[in-house]
Amino acid sequence: MDSTLDDRIARVLDAMNRHMAESITVRDLAAVAGLSPSRFAHLFRRTIGVSPLRHLHAMRMARAQQLLARSSLPIRDVMRQVGWKDPSHFSKDFKRRFGVAPRRYRGQYDESAPPSCSER
C-alpha cells in the first residue's frame, strides 16, 4: 500500500476488503476512520477519487471477477462472498461492468483451458 496514503483511509480500505461479504454503510466506514460520515466521505473522495460505496462496489466486482476466473465456486457462493444477496442484481451489475453475465464470463475461462494430455 502507498506509504503516503492517509492512515485512516488505509484502515478503511483494509476493512472494506476484510468485510466485503457484509452489509457496509458509510457510517460503518466513518467509524473505522474515526470521523463523522460527512467528513469521512469528503476525505475518501478526495483521496481515492470516488465515493466510498462506489469504491466498495468496484472492489466487490473485481473480487467476483477473480473468483469466477480462478475458482470452481458456484456463482451463488461467489455472489455471497462479495456481498450480494440478489442473484439478478449481481448478474446485472456484473454484466454492466464486464460486458458479459457471470456464467458466460466463467465459461470463457473454462473453454480457454488447455486440452487434456491424456489422449495420447
The CATH code of the domain that includes 81 is 1.10.10.60
Range of the domain at 37: 7-111
pLDDT number for residue 8: 97
In a domain, 78, yes or no: yes
In a domain, 33, yes or no: yes
pLDDT digits (tens, 9 = 90+) for 61-82: 999 999 999 999 999 999 999 9
In a domain, 118, yes or no: no
Vertex 13 angle, CA 106 and 66, to 5°: 10
In a domain, 119, yes or no: no
pLDDT digits (tens, 9 = 90+) for 15-60: 999 999 999 999 999 999 999 999 999 999 999 999 999 999 999 9
In a domain, 2, yes or no: no
In a domain, 58, yes or no: yes
In a domain, 49, yes or no: yes
pTM of the full predicted structure?
A: 0.84
Whether the per-residue pLDDT at 119 is higher than 60: the answer is: no
pLDDT number for residue 3: 52
Cα 93 to Cα 23, 79, 88, 105: the distances in Å are: 17, 11, 9, 13
In a domain, 116, yes or no: no
Q: Find out whether 48 and 11 touch, Cβ atoms under 8 Å.
A: no
Instruction: For residues 71 and 102, give the distance between their C-alpha atoms in angstroms, rounded to a whole number.
Output: 13
Please give the tally of structural domains in the chain: 1
